[in-house]
Amino acid sequence: MVTTWIAARISPGRVGAVLGRNLGALRSGPAYWLVLVSGFFEPLLYLLSIGVGVGALVGELPVGGRSLDYATFVAPAMLAVSAMSGALAETTYNFFFKMKYMKTFEAVLATPVRPVEVALGELGWAMVRGSVYTALFLVVMVALGLTSPLGALAAFPATVLVGLAFGALGMAVSTLMRGWQDFDLMSTGQFALFLFSGTFSPVTDYPAALQVLVQLTPLYHAVELVRGPAIGEAGWGLLPHVLYLLVMMAAGLLFAARRLQRTLMV
């Protein structure tokens, strides 16, 4: 009931206006096309270095009863990481800057736009930006023979869900930040997830206790959800990962909207 009440009061036009403001702000900076497109190169470089370079040292990797080429194993994980970090970059550093220093949201809220619409607009913008990167990356994966075109089509919606879940989490975390130093802790956490979520080697390599711990963290579910379709192993087994990310997205959005309401509408 609460959700329908909220939904009835959300206007797509106002959410779109928040999104449009972000596009305009990006275009006002220098070399914006280059900055925008260059975000795609980061995971690609990791793929070439770790996937291809280190992959040549690794050779084949036993994963779930079959043998995978190392680059085929790493590529979907880089894709999931790219979806995560694309969404987080936008909803943490940029979001925090707009909230605390630029007072952008206070200006926005002086118009008919409401806090939940700000949250949705910011998330929407993060998704537009992140999806450009993941789509390009999938094209590269198909070109390098690391996934099939069908696998890429199936993996794309998975990356969108990953972006939505991490974007919502990022906004929720941003509303709690005290200053830039707190972001150092956040990026440490993000880097630890990057290293230990079954990204570079299968989680079954880890000791049992560590495996359980990893399975509680979000990037593990993102990697599994993206890797399944990319290597042609999609099935009902992916459902728990979908549920995990959906809950994370809903909780993050509600929390962020409430905090925005409380801190900005006094």
Residues within the interface to another protein (CB under 8 A): 29-32, 34-35, 38-39, 41-42, 45-46, 48-50, 53-54, 56-59, 61, 70, 181, 184-185, 188, 191-192, 195-196, 200-201, 205-206
Tell me the closest approach of the beta carbon of residue 212 to another protein, in angstroms.
17
Q: Please return the burial class of 100, using the count of CB atoms within 10 Å of its CB with bins 0-12, 13-18 and 19+.
A: middle
Which residue number, 139 or 192, has a Cβ lying nearer to another protein? Answer: 192
What 3-state class would DSSP assign to 62?
strand
Q: How far apart are CA 10 and CA 60, in angstroms?
A: 50
Q: Which is nearer to another protein, 200 or 220 (CB)?
A: 200
The residue among 80, 82, 76, 71 whose CA lies nearest residue 39 is 82
Q: How far apart are CA 38 and CA 133, in angstroms?
A: 9
Smallest distance from the beta carbon of 63 to another protein, in angstroms? 11
- Smallest separation, CB 164 to another protein (Å): 23
Cβ atoms < 10 Å from Cβ of 34: 8
Quote the CA–CA distance of 1 and 134 in Å, as a whole number: 35
Between 106 and 205, whose beta carbon lies closer to another protein?
Answer: 205
Using the minimum distance from each CB to another protein, give the nearer residue, 50 or 127. 50
Cβ neighbours for 217, distance < 8 A, ≥ 6 positions apart: 193, 197
Q: Which residue, 1 or 216, has its beta carbon nearer to another protein?
A: 216
Torsion of CA 222, 225, 229, 233, to 10 degrees: 130
Cβ at position 26, least distance to another protein in Å: 9
Minimum CB distance to another protein, residue 231 (Å): 17
